[in-house]
Structure 1
Amino acid sequence: MDTEGERFAVTANGREFVGRAFGEGEPWLCLHGFPDDPRTFDRLAAELDGVRLLAPYMRGYGPTGGSPDDDYSPAAIGRDAAALAEALDTRFVVGHDWGAVAAYGALRSDTVERAATMAVPPRFDALLFAYPSQFLRSWYIWLFQAPGAVRLLRARDFALVDALYGSWSPGFDDEAHVARVKRTLAEGDTAANAVAYYRDMVAATVEGVRANGIRDPSEGHVFETPTLLLTGADDRCIGTQLYDRAGEAFETCRVGRVRDAGHFLHRERPAVVADELRAWFA
């Protein structure tokens, strides 16, 4: 199995994205999250024939440069995703974690025909208030608002990354992948940029609450793009119960709960996730 992928570069949204490509066939844009990098999709690629997974390093990660305007907001990465889908000439987008957030932004464009997201439901900012227990699960988000967050993330060879993988996906054992993710986070300003994603998200949420009050999860943009929403049944990062109302955000969608999987379901149960994706995009 090719675990590194073929390196590629593409210009989209006014910046160069470097990425990894796996397999041969119809192109799918795959967007990674945190703490992760494009090679997170290697196991999924091994289960898919006739598909070429194109997985760029997200804005500010590894060899993809940071944002010159220091914008790592959900809106900014959504624009990246839409531009990447167009530049790579793909009809289908798959996003995990922050990649899911970016994919929702791309759905606002006319570029994407179908999409699949994993581990983060739409309207997450509103769901935080609707499901108070999620505030506790999201402790790392509040930790990343602290002035010393980047230093803490880097401490003891990114020990926090080990803790997040272990707690988000109980029983998950993938030391080799975690080690390469740490190498990506150690590259340049990647760690600081990764933390900036969370700071910009919280800033946008706070601004929205100040302007309009706490939003009900039933309110918001309704996506026309048919979307598959996958969640690990044992996800301890973002509770699977947040998907109970996910359908309110779409004209057409399907929610799938993957058994015996946590937050990194595409690495824990790649064959199951591949079957779901193959059926959805067929």
Structure 2
Amino acid sequence: MNQAPRINFAVTPLLRIAYEEHGPASGAPVILLHGFPYDPRAFDEVAPALALRGYWVIVPYLRGYGPTRFNNPSILRSGQQAALAQDLLDLMQALAIPQAALCGYDWGGRAACIVAALWPERVRCLVTGDGYNLQDIPRSAQPLAPETEHRLWYQYYFHSARGVEGLTQNRRELCQLLWRLWSPTWKRGTALFPLSAPSFDNPDFVEVVIHSYRHRFMYAPGDPTLEWMEERLTAQPAISVPSISLCGADDGVGPAVEFDEDAEHFSGFYERRVLSGVGHNIPQEAPQATLRALLDLLEG
């Protein structure tokens, strides 16, 4: 039987980051990063397996989730991509981790991809959900194909005051709906959702989520101290570290297409694996494929 993860806290300049810890601290570090609207439960079948192989596994609660808290009421509850990346760097600094293997999807995948692109010396290897996750914010005003636009309804909803109130009043119902829509063929989602839902009761959840989906469309200003990073990201820098992209064939928000449009953004070893019968919540829906990708990079 797997042991329950150790829950610890790392104090960074902005946050008291809660993280679940598996395996020996003497092992090679692996950081697993969840997305929206998920939490560390997404890695419940991945983290223990890595720990059994001797890896030191860190699974943080992102800003706005679970027990993670901001250090000061005056800190902007930003959900922008640069903030997520800075949180990851700050966590590594607080835990004295000079380099780690990274695995993430959705918001967590964005943080991992940014750190891999801008600080490749800090990243041993990368497993990314749905490829190259750096947002091209200056191009966000350009309309997409109608079929793509309709899948982004929740983002446009969050741009309105009605959406803020809707997320505030119905956060669990709305998040559960997204689980169903984004993972339409996943049979275990209904049973597993209650395990993650308490993480959305974080007092900063709504504010961070709303800011994330407004900032990416230039409807909300970002953290001025992170503007330098956002400017670097507009160049869409390449990722040079060894990388594997896992894509869900049944992803309801961004289904995998036949042609890999992200390959040009990877300059080192790169492989794309499309997972049949898998939706958006990749590590929880396909833990063995996620574990295999990590081990292929770490031990292959």
User: Is the CA contact (8 Å cut-off) linking 1:20 and 1:39 kept in structure 2?
Assistant: no
Match of 1:73 in 2: 80
Match of 1:213 in 2: none
User: Is the CA contact (8 Å cut-off) linking 1:137 and 1:237 kept in structure 2?
Assistant: yes
| Structure with greater contact order relative to length (CA < 8 Å, sep ≥ 6) | 2
1:259–1:40 CA distance, 2 compared to 1 (3 A)? same
After TM superposition, give the deviation of residue 206 of structure 1 in Å.
10
Does residue 259 in structure 1 map to residue 276 in structure 2? Answer: yes
Does residue 244 in structure 1 map to residue 253 in structure 2? Answer: no
Aligned equivalents of 2:140 and 2:204: distance in 1? 31
1:178–1:146 CA distance, 2 compared to 1 (3 A)? same
How many percent of aligned residue pairs carry the same amino acid? 25
1:270–1:185 CA distance, 2 compared to 1 (3 A)? same
SS in 2 for 1:191: helix
Q: Which letter does structure 2 place at the counterpart of 1:111?
A: R
Does residue 83 in structure 1 map to residue 84 in structure 2? Answer: no
After TM superposition, give the deviation of residue 26 of structure 1 in Å.
3.0
SS in 1 for 2:45: helix
Does residue 223 in structure 1 map to residue 232 in structure 2? Answer: no
After TM superposition, give the deviation of residue 60 of structure 1 in Å.
2.4
After TM superposition, give the deviation of residue 149 of structure 1 in Å.
2.0
After TM superposition, give the deviation of residue 23 of structure 1 in Å.
4.0
Q: Which runs of 5+ in 1 are unaligned?
A: 208-218
User: Is the CA contact (8 Å cut-off) linking 1:122 and 1:249 kept in structure 2?
Assistant: no
Match of 2:125 in 1: 114
Q: Which letter does structure 2 place at the counterpart of 1:153?
A: L
User: Is the CA contact (8 Å cut-off) linking 1:40 and 1:177 kept in structure 2?
Assistant: no
Does residue 189 in structure 1 map to residue 204 in structure 2? Answer: yes
After TM superposition, give the deviation of residue 62 of structure 1 in Å.
2.4
Aligned equivalents of 1:170 and 1:272: distance in 2? 19
Aligned equivalents of 1:156 and 1:205: distance in 2? 23
SS in 1 for 2:292: helix
Aligned equivalents of 1:61 and 1:122: distance in 2? 20
SS in 2 for 1:231: strand
| Coordinate RMSD, CA, aligned | 2.9
Match of 1:44 in 2: 46
Q: Deviation per CA, 1:128-158, whole angstroms, max 9, x where unpaired?
A: 9585232222111111111132331244562
TM-score, structure 2 as length reference: 0.80
- The size of the alignment, in residue pairs, is 272
Aligned equivalents of 1:3 and 1:177: distance in 2? 19
SS in 1 for 2:218: helix
